[in-house]
Structure formats: structure tokens, C-alpha cells
Amino acid sequence: MLGRLPLGEQLDGFRSALERNEVLTEVMAGAARLDLPGWYVTAGCLFQTV
């Protein structure tokens, strides 16, 4: 179970899951290119992926 792993391994698993979401990956890349100050991804977007 992912929740019982050391924090570093949990984060690696979380990142891996997020990277498999093509839409989220495209949105993140596009948002980064806009170079807007103070933007962030909301929890719902991440929760729905995992």
C-alpha cells in the first residue's frame, strides 16, 4: 500500500500517477509557458487523477 511507504516513495508514486494523466500534463505545461505569477493546480484536479 502506497500510504505505508516512506514519504519519498509516496511522492514518487504520486508523481508517476499524475504523469500518466495526459490532459493534466498538457495543462501544466501550458500554464508554465504562460509564466503567470502565483498560479496553482487545485486539489480536485489531482484527486480525480489518483
**What is the Cα–Cα distance from 10 to 29, expressed in whole angstroms?**
23
Work out how many domains the chain is built from and give that number.
1
**Is 10 inside any structural domain?**
no
pTM: 0.61
pLDDT of residue 8: 95
Let me know: does 3 contact 10? Beta carbons within 8 Å: yes
**Is 7 inside any structural domain?**
no
**What is the Cα–Cα distance from 10 to 45, expressed in whole angstroms?**
18
**Is 28 inside any structural domain?**
yes
**What is the Cα–Cα distance from 47 to 40, expressed in whole angstroms?**
14
pLDDT of 1-50, one tens digit each? 778 999 999 999 988 988 999 998 998 899 889 988 988 777 777 777 76
**Is 43 inside any structural domain?**
yes
Residue 43 sits in which domain range? 21-50
pLDDT of residue 12: 94
**What is the Cα–Cα distance from 1 to 44, expressed in whole angstroms?**
22
